[in-house]
């Protein structure tokens, strides 16, 4: 029998013990996790003092499987779980979705933290950016976003400032920080003074305190994420539409006023709702504290208008509705009279010119006109107008087109063609300057013409007020009108006309009527404070009605009826140059003014009136100027039509 040496027995026992130890599964705390897991807790992390198994509590052996995941891990140390469970994020986001990689989570106040003020934009933007919830983009462009991202103000509100942190609820939830119930308080954390004023001195705030859910709160007017600087041009002008969402009736009357017209065209200094009613202390006019209470109107209006009188200017109604029966009866009657005048003139001359157009077309087809256009430069011309009249008419054309082009956009501010002005920098101020400059020139040529008439009267020239050379309407004009209508209806021959026709006299007196009416009403609107030192404020409402409607009557008549009478009727188309050249071909003169032709022949004065035809180069300039004026006028007439049909 072989005996095993003791040293071998001892060696075998040692090997058995070591093999048993090596065969036992290793425990996690026996090993360095970094041997398998390269990602370790960063030294800058708020979790740097924790070991791996403090969070990965399911690890008991190696190899292992982590059985503790999700928010439950964080809940071991953080007790916000109850809040998060009630949050809108409970089903859609976990802790790491907001706070980032758990190995790199930093303290909230650390600028590099995923939930630090600046970083929140990126963190929240992972879910709330694009689509119908493009709230992050709105915030970035808001006054809050610019304060944080551009000005570097850490106190500027971020997502969590308004929505909360772990207890974020949907806006419809009454317990949400941004619900109708709570949003004033939320905004009031920063805007304490405004909140106090709004609650205690505003009709809106009073209704909110009463629980009236129709009452507007902060985000009703300022929106939620894309809150803009209220004094900036765009938000200031847009504020009118915001107020109009609730105050529809007052919005309409404001829109139809001068202030409303001007703001629609982008005139920033025109008064908007908040200028008169204030933004946060708006009270009914009956409240003595209200800025629109009669006792306070002088102070309110003086913010824009200097030297405001307490009994004059303040009686102006910024919400006047001339077409309605309430308000100042006299303003309503003026509106009614101007409307009747406008419709009467448009209706009468519309019918007159339609009849004329069809008869002229027939006359052209029948070759009833004997004047041949190609002969105009090969015959003598007859002088009809002196130089003073020609240059006066040219001045009238230029100033009238400028006044129309700069005034009609204000009346038809709601049309696309008028809104072009809002997209041109400085266009509004420039058009105001041009409009007023053209008005001054208009007064100038009016005084020149009146002086011309006074001079003729002083010389005791005959025919100024009566006779064949007078512009004053006479019984023959009525006869000529009736004869012309018979001609239009194929019931009689074409009437014989003298030096001036009935439609030319109407054109002439339309200018004589229009300049004082439009001019004086325009001056009242230009200098309202001066006017109301002598007249009550409601006269400004009347002046606005008169200026607007008379301007529409004048431009509509000139661009439609006068253009047709003078240039666009078939027998004169495309342009009658007589007022520019001062003379007209003898053959055309004989055909269109037979009575004047016969009188000149009988008196022997015809030869004195004959002149050479205009030089071709002068005639080209005449046609260039005339066609330019015609085209501008026709385009403005189209604009008027669009404005009327879309008003």
Task: Choose among 402, 399, 419, 401: nearest CA to 410.
Answer: 419
Is 536 inside any structural domain? yes
pLDDT tens digits along 185-224: 999 999 999 999 999 999 999 999 999 988 999 999 988 8
For residue 413, being part of any structural domain is answered with: yes
Mean pLDDT over the full length of the chain: 86
CATH number at residue 505: 1.20.950.20
What pLDDT, in 10s, does the model give residues 339-379? 999 999 999 999 999 999 999 999 888 887 765 555 566 78
- Would you state the pLDDT for residue 551? 94
In a domain? residue 450: yes
Examine residue 341 and state whether it is found in any structural domain, yes or no.
yes
Q: What is the 3-state secondary structure (H, E, C) of 536-571?
A: CCHHHHHHHHHHHHHHHHHHHHHHHHHHHHHHHCCC
pLDDT at 116: 85
Determine, yes or no, domain membership for 289: no
Q: Please report the pLDDT score of residue 581 as a whole number.
A: 92
Q: Tell me the two tokens of residue 412.
A: 């038809």
From 139, 168, 197, give the residue that closes a domain: 168
- pLDDT at position 11 is 64
pLDDT at 17: 54
Domain total of the chain: 2
Query: For the segment 220-260, what is each residue's pLDDT rounded down to a tens digit?
Result: 998 888 888 888 888 888 889 999 999 988 889 898 888 98
Q: How many CA atoms lie within 13 A of 443 on its CB side?
A: 13
What's the predicted TM-score (pTM) here? 0.81
Share of the chain above pLDDT 90, in %: 46
User: 168, 191, 215: which is the final residue of a domain?
Assistant: 168
Label residue 144 exposed, middle or buried (CB < 10 Å: 0-12, 13-18, 19+): buried
Tens of pLDDT, residue by residue over 20-78, are 545 545 544 555 676 677 677 777 777 877 777 777 776 666 666 655 556 667 777 87
102 closest CA partner among 47, 53, 34: 47
Choosing from 123, 152, 168, the residue where a domain stops is: 168
**Residue 43's pLDDT is what?**
73
Is residue 58, in this structure, part of any structural domain at all?
Answer: no
Say what percent of the chain tops pLDDT 70: 89
Mean pLDDT per 10-residue segment, the chain (647 residues): 59 57 49 69 76 73 62 74 76 81 82 84 81 75 87 85 87 89 92 93 92 90 86 86 90 89 86 92 92 92 87 88 81 94 95 95 83 66 92 95 94 90 82 94 93 86 83 93 96 93 92 91 93 91 94 93 91 89 91 92 92 91 94 94 87
Closest CA to 73 of 97, 91, 57, 86: 57
Question: Does 617 map to a domain?
Answer: yes
Query: Residue 70 in 3-state DSSP?
Result: coil
SS (H, E, C) 256-316: CCHHHHHHHCCCCCCCCHHHHHCCCCCCCCCCCCCCCCHHHHHHHHHCCCCCCCCCCHHHC
Residue 315 lies in a domain: no
- Owning domain of residue 120: 76-168
């Amino acid at each position: 029998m072989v005996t095993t040496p003791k040293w071998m027995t001892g060696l075998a026992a040692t090997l058995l013990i070591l093999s048993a130890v090596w065969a036992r599964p290793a425990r996690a705390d026996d090993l360095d996790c970094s041997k398998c897991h390269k990602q370790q807790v960063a030294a800058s992390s708020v979790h740097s003092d924790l070991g791996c198994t403090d969070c990965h509590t399911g690890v008991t052996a190696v190899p292992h499987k982590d059985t503790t995941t999700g928010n439950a891990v964080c809940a071991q140390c953080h007790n916000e779980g109850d809040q998060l469970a009630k949050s809108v994020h409970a089903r859609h986001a976990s802790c790491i979705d907001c706070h980032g990689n758990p190995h790199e989570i930093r303290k909230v106040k650390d600028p590099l933290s995923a939930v630090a003020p600046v970083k929140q934009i990126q963190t929240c933007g992972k879910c709330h950016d694009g689509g119908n919830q493009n709230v992050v983009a709105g915030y970035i462009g808001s006054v809050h976003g610019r304060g944080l991202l551009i000005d570097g103000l850490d106190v500027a509100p971020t997502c969590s400032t308004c929505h909360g942190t772990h207890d974020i609820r949907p806006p419809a939830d009454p317990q949400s920080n941004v619900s109708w119930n709570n949003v004033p308080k939320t905004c009031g954390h920063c805007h304490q003074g405004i909140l106090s004023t709004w609650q205690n001195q505003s009709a809106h705030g009073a209704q909110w305190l009463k629980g009236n859910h129709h009452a507007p709160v902060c985000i009703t007017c300022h929106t939620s994420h894309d809150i803009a600087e209220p004094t900036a041009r765009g938000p200031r002008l847009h504020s009118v539409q915001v107020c109009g969402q609730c105050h529809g009736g007052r919005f309409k009357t404001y829109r139809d006023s001068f202030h409303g017209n001007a703001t629609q065209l982008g005139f920033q200094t025109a008064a908007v709702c908040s200028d008169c009613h204030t933004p946060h202390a708006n009270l009914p006019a009956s409240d003595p504290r209200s800025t629109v209470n009669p006792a306070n109107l002088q102070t309110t209006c003086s913010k824009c208008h200097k030297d405001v009188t307490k009994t004059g200017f303040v009686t102006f109604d910024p919400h006047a509705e001339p077409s309605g029966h309430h308000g100042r009866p006299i303003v309503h009657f003026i509106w009614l009279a101007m409307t009747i005048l406008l419709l009467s003139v448009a209706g009468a001359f519309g019918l007159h010119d339609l009849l004329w157009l069809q008869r002229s077309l027939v006359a052209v087809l029948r070759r009833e006109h004997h004047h041949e256009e190609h002969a105009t430069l090969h015959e003598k011309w007859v002088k009809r107008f002196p130089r003073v009249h020609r240059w006066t008419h040219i001045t009238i054309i230029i100033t009238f087109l400028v006044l129309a082009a700069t005034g009609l956009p204000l009346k038809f501010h709601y049309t696309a063609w008028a809104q072009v002005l809002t997209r041109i920098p400085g266009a509004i101020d420039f058009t105001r300057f041009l409009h007023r400059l053209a008005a001054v020139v208009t007064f100038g040529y009016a005084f020149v013409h009146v002086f011309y008439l006074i001079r003729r009267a002083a010389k005791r020239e005959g025919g100024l007020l009566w006779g064949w050379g007078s512009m004053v309407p006479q019984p023959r004009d009525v006869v000529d009108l009736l004869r012309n209508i018979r001609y239009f209806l194929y019931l009689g021959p074409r009437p014989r006309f003298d030096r001036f026709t009935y439609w030319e006299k109407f054109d002439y007196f339309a200018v004589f009527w229009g300049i004082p009416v439009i001019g004086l009403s325009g001056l009242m609107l230009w200098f309202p404070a001066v006017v109301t030192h002598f007249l009550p404020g409601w006269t400004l409402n009347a002046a606005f009605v008169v200026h607007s409607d008379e301007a529409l009557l004048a431009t509509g008549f000139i661009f439609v009826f006068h253009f047709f009478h003078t240039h666009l009727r078939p027998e004169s188309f495309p342009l009658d140059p007589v007022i520019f050249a001062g003379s007209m071909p003898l053959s055309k003169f004989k055909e269109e003014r037979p009575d004047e032709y016969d009188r000149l022949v009988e008196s022997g004065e015809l030869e004195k009136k004959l002149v050479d035809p205009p030089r071709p180069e002068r005639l080209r300039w005449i046609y260039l100027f005339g066609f330019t004026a015609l085209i501008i006028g026709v385009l403005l007439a189209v604009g008027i039509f669009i404005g009327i049909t879309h008003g």
